[in-house]
Structure 1
Amino acid sequence: MAPPDNDVLWARSLRCTLGGRQGATDVLTGVSVNVREGEILAVVGPRGSGKTTLLRCLSGQQVAQEGEVWFNSVPVHTMNRVQRDLLHRDRFGWIGTEPGLVPELTAWENTALPLMLRGVPRRAAKTAAAEWLERLDIGASARSRPHALTPAQCQRIATARALITTPDVLFADEPTATLYSGDAAQVLRTLTAAARTHGITVLLATHDLGVAALADRTIALRDGRRVGTPAPANGAEGVTACSLSV
């Protein structure tokens, strides 16, 4: 069964386990989800609830033992490894808890890397990287390497790297978990503003209900299953107002 036309991502009955036949642990148990084009969808739940595994399955980085994943009516779950790698390179963006920058490259080179891997000329890629680094208030460090930067600065560079290709879907797995509130707010402001400006669909995994308040819609996981969506935490409204005032 193909997904509805207005769903950019659609998954049904995903089941993932870790370990062997004896002592196997269910990470996802029959999880289904749909994501509409241009939507910011928050996936909330405590650590260990299956958020990262769900994002990895939806992005094609991991294949569930059971279930289906569709991207724009194309079955991701039947793709081979090369096809899934190309999908991740050309259509998706990813921001994780850790920046994952290449230590030998400067900030602008790290940011421009996805474009250069696509064959974009170095000068054009550098110009685009400089623009995104400026938007994230890190332009002054464009020539610095990761070892000379703070964790917050490195995470801003990782965010610029994920946005520079204007992906169809951006997967953000606890992107501000290691940042102080002020730095986190700056990253989230840029991320949400860029998504809405460029029509990027965003899946945002977080255990913080204040961060989830930025999203258009929220689903909740616990122990690998979908559960009822929790109520916003106290102060969530303030986080939303701060983060979207761009």
Structure 2
Amino acid sequence: MEAPPDNDVLWARSLHYRHPDGSPGITGVSLGVRQGEILAVSGPRGSGKTTLLRCLSGLHRAQRGEVWFNSSPVHTLGPMARERLRRDRFGWIDPAPALVPELNVWENAALPLMLRGTGRRRAKVAALEWLERLDVGDRARKRPHELLHAQRQRVAIARALATGPTVLFADEPTAPLHRAERGHVLRTLTTAARSHGITVVLATHDADTAALADRTVAMLDGRRVKTVHLPEVAEAEGRAACSLSV
């Protein structure tokens, strides 16, 4: 078994995953992600970006291949061990904000910290710091239903950053935001990641978002390709990227 490079916080080799319905997810994908790197996984919708992130984070267990985190094998872990890894070392941002409706904004942002065993007061301070950075600090005592959709997504991003994850997986994190808001939120996310040494794996079909990363890997039909030319967001709505070189 080949050992992963020492400077790669994440390393994957020959990942294969098929969805439960039998449809292909990813085929033979290999990559490495360096400590503190912001890596964009680009490609049109349906190209396998989300499946790749889920396999790297342990949410999905690849049917074939290897995933290593800090030189420890993730692919051999059982469900409980993978859950602990995601809770303690990883952060995740979905395209849609999944907040707990019974909790207010700061409680939602602090919830992962409290589940780790962090005291309520300390968790609240960390949550409020990130809510302020993302311009929703004044909504801290509101319930999710009282927020605009874009505000709820900012809360979800704050929740992911508040834990200080080693690796943050962001699956189209600004998809619910208006174009004018995307730049600010992405700059906050990338600046925070760099200042805190957080490794980010960012899935996106938007060329402007991918441009903020240190490096980009391209996906198409579940495979890595050399280049996928992503259209501008205004042109991309409702149609996939249209040219590539393999």
TM-score normalised by structure 2 residue count: 0.91
Amino acid at match of 2:73: P
Percent of matched pairs sharing the same residue? 66
How many positions carry a matched residue from both structures?
A: 232
Counterpart check, 1:5 vs 2:3 = no
- The 2-side partners of 1:52 and 1:87 are apart by 19
Deviates more, 1:180-189 or 1:199-208: 180-189
Superposed, which structure 2 residues align to 1:69-218 within 5 Å? 69-218=67-216
Structure 1 residues 59-86: Cα deviation after superposition (integer angstroms, max 9, x where no partner): 0111011000000000000000010000
- The 2-side partners of 1:105 and 1:183 are apart by 25
Amino acid at match of 2:3: A
Check conservation: 2:43, 2:228, Cα contact below 8 A.
no
Map of 1:15 onto structure 2 = 16
Amino acid at match of 1:16: Y
Q: Decide whether aligned partners of structure 1 residues 144 and 39 sit closer, same or farther in structure 2, where only a CA change above 3 A counts.
A: same
- The 1-side partners of 2:155 and 2:20 are apart by 35
Following superposition, the deviation at residue 234 of structure 1 comes to: 6.9
- The 1-side partners of 2:20 and 2:190 are apart by 37
After TM superposition, what 4+ stretches of structure 1 lie above 6 angstroms from structure 2?
A: none
- The 2-side partners of 1:200 and 1:207 are apart by 22
Counterpart check, 1:38 vs 2:59 = no
CA RMSD of aligned residues (A): 1.4
SS in 2 for 1:230: strand
Following superposition, the deviation at residue 186 of structure 1 comes to: 2.0
Structure 1 residues 219-240: Cα deviation after superposition (integer angstroms, max 9, x where no partner): 00000011012357679xxxxx
2:224 to 202, 216, 226: 226
2:54 to 46, 53, 56: 56
Structure 2: give runs of 5+ residues left out of the alignment. 234-246
